[in-house]
Structure 1
Amino acid sequence: MAPDVDEAADELYGLHPDEFVPRRTELVKAAKAEKASDVAKALGALRKPSLGAWLANVLARESPDEVGALEELGGQLRSAQESLSGDALRALTRQRRELVGALVARARKLAREDGVGVGDSVARDLENTIAAALADPAAARAFAAGRLTTALEPGVGFEGGSTPARSGGGARRRPPPRGSSSRPAPPRQEPGPDGPDDDAEDEAERAHAREAADRAVERAREERDDAMRAAERARSRAGQAEADHTEAAEAVASLRERLERAEAQEAATQEALDTARQAAEEAETAADEARRALDQAEAERADLE
């Protein structure tokens, strides 16, 4: 019976990179022996993982709950950042730092148990993969599937996303622990002339490159559309702000005009008041003089009597 592609992929991505190609060759030969050319082609297209990707795949198999929690924790971090909740963000950032440290330490221990030393560069690859999983739900799911071929790279910030996840394909399900293949593998052999040739390898690499380019173009289109929508919203807000400013400026101009008219009216009434007061004073003076003249006339008449 030809190998099952998913089961074979689960097995292959649980192997050390040095064991990957020989085992893949055995599985391809077994598929060809069963005349399952589609299976052989699919298996031959599976890419050998880098050491950093292998370490991440091992961690996904041996600590599935912790790796599976990265997607939820990343969502919480993004929500806290968007809501500018300082206390929540600090608590989650501390939890993130502790989780990353614990996962890297766990992966180093698993590698030592396999007789593999983990250098600083490989540890950084794993840290970057974990950071990418926290920043991008798709990267988190690819990490949890345990079939990465290259380490993931985080984008800028929590909402910035990560580089497209390169994995061995297949269903996005929890990978089995290493060494838990449900079917016996074909006897191990050295790669022979029936294995994938250089042309097939090159074509598979080109196919993966095209897929990565397609994902990059799609991501760029989405980012462009998001930017265009954001620009349209900004233009709308700017237009409304300009209209509000114009309305306020017109109101100020109207108030200034009314104030100027009121000030002119106040000046005119003040002048009329001053004139009236002066006229009243002059009339009072004339009345006093008239009263004195009357008093004198009455006195003179009294003298004549």
Structure 2
Amino acid sequence: MQRKGGNHRETGDRHVEPVDSVLEQLYATPPSGFVSRREEHVAAARKAGRKEDARRIHAAHRPTLAAWAANLLRRSRPEESERFLELGHALREAHRTLDAAGLKELSAQRRRIVAALSRQAARLAHEAGHPLSESAQREVESTLRAVLADPDAADQWAGGRLEVSLTPPSQFPAGAARAEAAPRERPARPDSPRAAGGTRAQDELAERRRKRQEELARAEQAAATAARQLRDRRADRADADASLRRADEEHDRAREEVSAAERRLRQAREDLARAGREQREAEERRRTAADALARAEREAQETARRVDRSAGRGKQSGPSR
């Protein structure tokens, strides 16, 4: 196996594409054609003897329409996407440093850019022949907000292979902005019982909130995984149904061809039998005609001999001079 031009590989006489290139093509394919294209690449990899590549390709899941639109936006608008990723980094940095002025400015910029980019994604999807519903466009907006708030979400979107929409964390960025704008309570003295008790209560409350958020995140992740698996199973069943329909149609066509061939065979046998009868009748007529000809020839010869004998007797009995 060797590289050729940095883009393709050759295995024996087979000219094949690397898995990453195949995956890039797959996630650029609209969801309606994803599974069939994936199976074509899987079959090609297996035929080329690349079992591990076939496994990796088969493990790719069909994206939702909203996730595909977000991927399409990333690929079609690379410069704007990079600026958007930089904005997310700046927004998270402002949140970490509690820069209220910068956070307010970036939050306003975030809302404008999320709205503008989601409209671009909807326009790109429509131009590609797959318009987004209102709910799908809201999922794109949710994904873009998650990209700004969560570095892991930013990395996922930057890869251009989202399978499902992303959900932004509930406490950021909207929660952070509200917390910064709210008036602060005057702190109690550190040595007062109220301060100690309040601190413990706040810590416990914060811990309970953190656990609830973790449980919510796990539940959302499990729900997203289950939904993705359900979509894949439905897609697989739809593909199986389509294959079954094609097989039934092919079976019906083959059965009709067999019936037609059997009809032609019966007709040919009947034609052969009729030709045989006609051949035998012709041979019988030929024999009859030959016998008649032979009798006619014998009769003609006999008649000629009688004529000759009669002529000879006539000469012998005539008057002498």
> When the two structures are superposed, what TM-score results if normalisation uses the length of structure 2?
0.49
Measured in 1, the distance between the counterparts of 2:89 and 2:140 equals 20
Q: CA deviation at 1:68?
A: 2.4
Q: Which secondary structure does the structure 1 equivalent of 2:98 belong to?
A: coil
C-alpha contact 1:111 1:118 (8 A) present in aligned 2 = yes
Q: CA deviation at 1:46?
A: 0.6
Measured in 2, the distance between the counterparts of 1:12 and 1:124 equals 24
Measured in 2, the distance between the counterparts of 1:86 and 1:55 equals 33
2:125 to 103, 111, 127: 111
Structure 2: runs of 5+ lacking an equivalent: 1-13, 174-212, 226-240, 245-321
- Pair 1:16 & 2:35 matched: no
Measured in 1, the distance between the counterparts of 2:56 and 2:94 equals 42
> 1:174 is matched with which residue?
none
- Pair 1:74 & 2:88 matched: yes
C-alpha contact 1:74 1:158 (8 A) present in aligned 2 = no
- Pair 1:121 & 2:135 matched: yes
> 1:56 is matched with which residue?
70
Greater RCO, CA 8 A, separation 6+:
1
> 1:149 is matched with which residue?
163
Q: CA deviation at 1:12?
A: 0.3
Q: Which of structures 1 and 2 has the bigger CA Rg?
A: 2
Deviation larger for 97-106 or 153-162: 153-162
Measured in 2, the distance between the counterparts of 1:64 and 1:157 equals 29
Letter in 2 for 1:56: A
- Pair 1:98 & 2:112 matched: yes
Q: CA deviation at 1:32?
A: 1.2
What is the percent sequence identity of the aligned residues? 37
Q: CA deviation at 1:14?
A: 0.3
- Pair 1:43 & 2:57 matched: yes
- Pair 1:5 & 2:14 matched: no
Q: Which secondary structure does the structure 2 equivalent of 1:29 belong to?
A: helix
- RMSD over aligned Cα, in angstroms? 2.8
Deviations 1:66-119 (A, max 9, x none): 222333212222232343333222211111111101101111111111122211
Deviations 1:236-272 (A, max 9, x none): xxxxxxxxxxxxxxxxxxxxxxxxxxxxxxxxxxxxx
Runs of 4+ with >6 A deviation? 159-164, 190-193
Letter in 2 for 1:84: L
What are the equivalent positions in structure 2 for 1:124-143 lying under 5 Å apart? 124-143=138-157
Letter in 2 for 1:28: V
Q: Judging by fraction of residues, say which structure has more helix.
A: 2
Q: Which secondary structure does the structure 1 equivalent of 2:22 belong to?
A: helix
Do the aligned partners of residues 19 and 84 (structure 1) sit closer, same or farther apart at CA in structure 2, a change above 3 Å counting? same
Q: Which secondary structure does the structure 1 equivalent of 2:28 belong to?
A: coil
Do the aligned partners of residues 85 and 26 (structure 1) sit closer, same or farther apart at CA in structure 2, a change above 3 Å counting? same
Measured in 2, the distance between the counterparts of 1:79 and 1:73 equals 10
Structure 1: runs of 5+ lacking an equivalent: 168-189, 194-305
Do the aligned partners of residues 22 and 82 (structure 1) sit closer, same or farther apart at CA in structure 2, a change above 3 Å counting? same
Measured in 2, the distance between the counterparts of 1:146 and 1:101 equals 20
Measured in 2, the distance between the counterparts of 1:114 and 1:60 equals 15
Measured in 2, the distance between the counterparts of 1:19 and 1:59 equals 18
